[in-house]
Amino acid sequence: MTNNKSKTLRGLFLGAGFIAIAAFIFTGCPSQQRMLDTGDAAQKVYVAPGEHDEYYGFFSGGYSGQLSVWGLPSARLLRVIPVFSQDPETAYGYSEETKPLLETSYGFIPWDDSHHPHISQTNGDADGRWIFINANNTPRIARIDLTTFQTREILEIPNTGGNHASSFVTSNTEYVIGGTRFSIPYEEDLDVPIDSYSDAFRGALSFIAVDQQSGRMELDFQIIVPPYNYDLGRAGKGPSSDWVFFTTYNTEEAHTMLEINASRNDKDFIAAVNWRKAAELVRDGHGRTMPGEFYHNYYAGKQGYAVNDVKNGVTVLDTREIDEDFIYYLPTPKSPHGVDIDPTGEYIVGGGKLATVIPVHSFSRMLEAIENGAIIERIDGIPVLDYDSTIIGEVENPGLGPLHTEFDGQGYAYTSVYISSEIVKWSLETFEVVDRIDAYYSIGHLLITAGDNVNPEPRYMVGLTKTAKDRYLPTGPKQNHPAQLYDISGGRMQLLKDFPTIGEPHYAQAIRADKIVNQVAQIYEMEENDHPHAIRRIADNRVERDGNVVRIFMGSTRSHFRPDNIEGIRVGDTVYIHLTNFEQEWDVVHGIAIKGANNTELLVAPGETKTIKWEPKRTGIYPFYCTAFCSALHQEMQGYIRVSAADSDVQLTWRTGTN
Amino acid sequence: MIYPKSLIIAVFVSFFIVFAQACGGDDTADRTSGQAETAEAGLSEFELEHGVGPITERIELSDEFDPELVEKGRNIYEMKCEMCHNMEGRMVGPALGDVMERRSAEFVMNFILNPSGMVREHPTGQELLREYMTAMPYQNVMEDEARAIVEFLREYNELN
Ligand SMILES: [Cu+2]
């Protein structure tokens, strides 16, 4: 089935360009819906019941704030990991353990916009230890542990408005990078007129160091740069490993109607930062401390409550104050969006959102240009290199609105093209388009299996698109965002599957399952439970009162709670239920729900302890029950709590098993 | 890989026939309702007496109890077993106060280390499951820990 609407649209957009493209018709242009014979496509995505997929796909949730985990090629949804948004199903952001993770210098925030998941790397290849993801709105970076698939840490990024150019890692996960999309007044809470933009506003590029053992993040330093919009970033590879690259737009320094005002200049910049040199400058005392409150939230132990470590101040390098060069601007056509580095580390590909070509810079030529002083001007001390001295190719006829590029390791690059809604495949040797295929509709990022690694795996590609329109059964005026799975193992791209996702799958990464699968935890080991309110022996189940605070230390196993009859709670009490799941069998989960609780249920994994806070407002008998279907006697897994008046003298008692 | 459709269909059909036969009648009955005779037939004499699982030989037990081992066993028992077992009287599972009189040390260790295998393959296990209607889980206990629990249960049996 072809789609007439999109064909018409493309006709309109491409206009005269179409004629040029028509010349390529026999080498695969223009793009089209190209699918294998339906049966063959079905077979390629068929994973038999009980069999496992070949890849894990980690899709950001965009405005859902979460991270979803998919099996590829079947496109089966495996799990949604809550990261920046509360999740009543798992009590994430509701339980006492997880609430601190969502604290910021602006207070508790129940939501964010998660954009770019990035798997930790060793020698430029994804290693599956952790996955990082950025919060765009209130700038933060989260780290998810890929043994428990649990958000373990969230670090707030100060001096930043819209942490979009994030959370990409360097080749050995030395740093996770961040960049401000909005430039803002950079001293904390500076209250200035908006039209003082060019004087008072600045951008910040963030370098977050990662502890190689624990994964713990630390904001090592920020680079203060001219007030442009810093859009995306990527680290170099191989020879360029010591560098990271950020795109900029709005070099016009507009602060209103950017749609027009920030699209005037012919070229904006890719900022190339020698992070190793910058880090040395910081070590040698060239930085200064800028005030700024930010939260660092993490689990100090294996279990327990996440802690809030409130920081004040960050080390900054200001290009206006430092003589040595460690950052360079590479002029790049028209508001580049993505910047992607090929597997060899030599090509720096810009996604010239409004450009008619895909510009490709050469890393080695860039080094030569620096050596030869091919500098056309300096902006706030930052050398701007001559365009012709760094550019090595311009891909012609890429379609309208090229955005992001990934690689297959076999000499080809694949660029998503937004306006003409297609993916173009081009050669890194000839810089010519060799194939193109439709996307449904309006593609943003794309992923290739290991496609940003030093060793990509030319198996699958997923296009992450922004509108579904007529692709599936309609579900009202707003529909879920789609994704398309393509086979790239042959010469030409083939569409295999088109499936709806969660939230907005903004960017995604796929890692071969065998790199992770053996490290995945099946239980939390009881012996290692270091939660301060865990019970480690069922005999320790009890209820304690301290003034108005009552703590219920409860244990669960199939199919009962201990204790399950509790009396002596009073209206006005703050009750904490610390539920330890004594199961040590994979995936045997217990939950607890209490009638009338203004909160969520708890879901507690085997060997885990979780806490819910409950403030009963009325006297009465409160039933509670296990929300997880845990055994044949699940429906028997229940109990009662008696709540008496504030001034009652009912004794605090608890029991199990004595009728 | 791409196979001709006719081949796939042929393979499917033949699988279906094999499965249809495998699924009929007696075979399933053995596995789910556990007819003791058929299951027994597949077990060795050692297994019938001492259970199926990683313990395949008699272990050495001395008449004296090792107090350190007893203590270790008690700790694991309180963490990983006590919520389902009483020493006296039925709970989720059977009372264990006198289990060392009813069963051999190897049988108890196999029950701890391979509970799902025991209730599937061993006639006593099958009977217990029918009676208690909850499957005892593997509690992530290592062999030396199972040995320690046995020591604790032996001492308890002796003293009570
Ligand atoms: Cu339950």
pLDDT at A445: 97
Say how many C-beta atoms besides its own lie within 10 A of residue B78's C-beta. 16
CB-CB under 8 Å, B140 with A523? yes
A363/A489 Cα distance (integer angstroms): 28
For the record, the structure tokens of B20 come out as 């249809």
Domains in chain A, please, with CATH? 40-519 (2.130.10.10), 526-655 (2.60.40.420)
Looking at residue B40, its pLDDT comes to 55
SS3 A52: coil
* B82, B134, B139 member nearest A559 (Cβ): B134
Alpha-carbon distance of A601 to A595, in angstroms, equals 10
Q: What's residue A38's pLDDT?
A: 76
pLDDT tens digits in sequence order for chain B, 160 residues long:
344 444 444 444 343 333 333 333 333 333 333 344 444 558 999 999 999 999 999 999 999 999 999 999 999 999 999 999 999 999 999 999 999 999 999 999 999 999 999 999 999 999 999 999 999 999 999 999 999 999 999 999 999 8
Q: Is A379 helix (H, G, I), strand (E, B) or coil?
A: strand
Residues A473, A477, A478, A484, CA torsion sign? positive
Chain A window 611-650: which residues touch B at a Cβ cutoff of 8 Å? 631-633
Compute the distance from residue A543 Cα to the ligand 1 centre, in Å. 20
Q: Enter the tokens of residue A106.
A: 């602006």
Contact A496, A45 (CB under 8 A): yes
CA angle (A534 as vertex; A532, A540 as ends), nearest 5: 120
For residue A184, give every residue at least 6 positions away whose Cβ sits within 8 Å of its Cβ, in sequence order, or none: A159, A160, A161, A201, A202
Residue A523 sits at the chain B interface (C-beta within 8 Å): yes
Q: Do residues A101 and A110 make contact, with C-beta atoms less than 8 angstroms apart?
A: no
- C-alpha A170/C-alpha A587 separation (Å) is 35
Give contacts of B80 with chain A, Cβ < 8 Å. Answer: 526, 582, 584
DSSP string, A532-594: TT--SSGGG-EEEEETTEEEEEEEEETTEEES-EEEEEETT-EEEEEEEE---STT--EEEEE
Q: Which residues of chain A have pLDDT under 70?
A: 1-33, 187-189, 659
Torsion, CA A546, CA A549, CA A553, CA A559, rounded to 10: 140
At residue A263, the pLDDT reads 87
Using a CB–CB cutoff of 8 Å, tell me whether B92 touches chain A: yes
Are B53 and B114 a contacting pair, CB within 8 Å? yes
Helices and strands (DSSP H and E) totals, chain B: 10, 0
pLDDT of amino acid A23: 34
**Chain B residues touching residue A582 (CB < 8 angstroms):** 79-80, 83
d(CA A116, CA A135): 9
CA of A564 to the centre of ligand 1 (A): 13
CA distance A587 to A116: 29
Contacts of A637 in chain B (CB under 8 A): none
Q: What are phi and psi of A141, to 5 degrees?
A: -130, 135
Rounded to whole angstroms, how far apart are CA atoms B71 and B60? Answer: 19
- Tens of pLDDT, residue by residue over A299-340, are 999 999 999 999 999 999 999 999 999 999 999 998 899 999
Cα(A197)–Cα(A556) distance, integer angstroms: 58
Q: Are A164 and A134 in contact (CB under 8 A)?
A: yes
Residue of A nearest to B115 (CA): A585
Query: Which chain B residues contact residue A558 at CB under 8 A?
Result: 92, 134, 137
Is beta strand A217-225 parallel, antiparallel or unpaired with respect to A307-318?
A: parallel
B134 in contact with chain A, both atoms CB, cutoff 8 A = yes
Between the CA of residue A437 and those of A27, A32, A46, A72, what are the distances in Å?
A: 12, 5, 22, 20
B-chain residues near A43 (CB < 8 A): 2
Residues of B in contact with A631 (CB under 8 A): 134
Adjacent-strand bridge partners of A163: A180
Q: What are phi and psi of A367, to 5 degrees?
A: -60, -40
Helix (H) or strand (E) holding A425: strand A422-427
Structure tokens at B160: 């009570």
What pTM value is reported for the model? Answer: 0.90
pLDDT digits (tens, 9 = 90+) for A568-621: 999 999 999 999 999 999 999 999 999 999 999 999 999 999 999 999 999 999
Distances (CA, A) of A193 to A198, A199, A509, A519, A646: 11, 10, 41, 53, 54
Q: How far is CA A181 from CA A160, A161, A252, A258, in A?
A: 8, 6, 14, 13
Compute the mean pLDDT over every residue in chain A, rounded to the nearest whole number: 93
Three-state secondary structure readout of B102-126: HCCHHHHHHHHHCHHHHHHHCHHHH
CA pair distance A254, A262, nearest whole angstrom? 6
b vs e for A35-46, b when ≥16 Cβ sit within 10 Å of the residue's Cβ? Answer: bbeeeebebbbe
Q: Which helix (H) or strand (E) holds B36?
A: helix B36-41
Q: Read off the DSSP letter of residue A508.
A: E
- CB interface of A with B, residues 274-313, below 8 Å: none
Q: What is the DSSP string of A237-262?
A: -GGGTTEEEEEEE-TT---S-HHHHT
The answer to whether residues A583 and A590 touch, using CB atoms and an 8 Å cutoff, is yes
Which of helix, strand or coil describes residue A116? coil
**What are the CA-CA distances from residue A36 to residues A1, A434, A438, A492 (Å)?**
12, 19, 14, 11
Rounded to whole angstroms, the Cα distance separating B63 from A31 reads 83
As a whole number of angstroms, the distance between CA B37 and CA B30 comes to 9
| Count of domains for chain B | 1
Per the CB < 8 A criterion, the answer to whether A80 and A502 are in contact is yes
- Please list every residue in chain B whose beta carbon sits closer than 8 Å to the beta carbon of residue A657: 91
State phi, psi for A347 to the nearest 5 degrees.
-100, 130
B5 and A525 within 8 Å at the Cβ level: the answer is: no
Amino acid at A450: A
> What whole-number distance in Å separates Cα of residue A415 and Cα of residue A399?
10
CB–CB contacts below 8 A, A to B:
51
**Residue B138 Cα, gap to closest chain A Cα (Å):** 6
Would the CB atoms of B133 and A633 count as touching at under 8 Å? yes
Q: What is the CATH number of the domain that holds B125?
A: 1.10.760.10
What is the distance in angstroms between the Cα of A533 and the nearest Cα belonging to chain B?
15
- Cα dihedral A11, A14, A19, A20 sign: negative
Locate the DSSP E strands across A15-91.
Answer: 55-60, 67-72, 76-81
Residue B78 is inside which H or E element, if any? Answer: helix B67-80
Give me the residues paired with residue A567 across strands: A653
Residue A1 contacts by C-beta under 8 Å, 6 or more apart in sequence? A33
Task: State whether B133 and A632 contact (CB < 8 Å).
Answer: yes
Domain range for residue B81? 5-159
Q: Which pair of structure tokens corresponds to residue A387?
A: 């365009």
Which positions ≥6 away from A643 have C-beta within 8 Å?
A569, A570, A571, A616, A618, A619, A620, A621, A622
| DSSP single-letter state for residue A92 | B
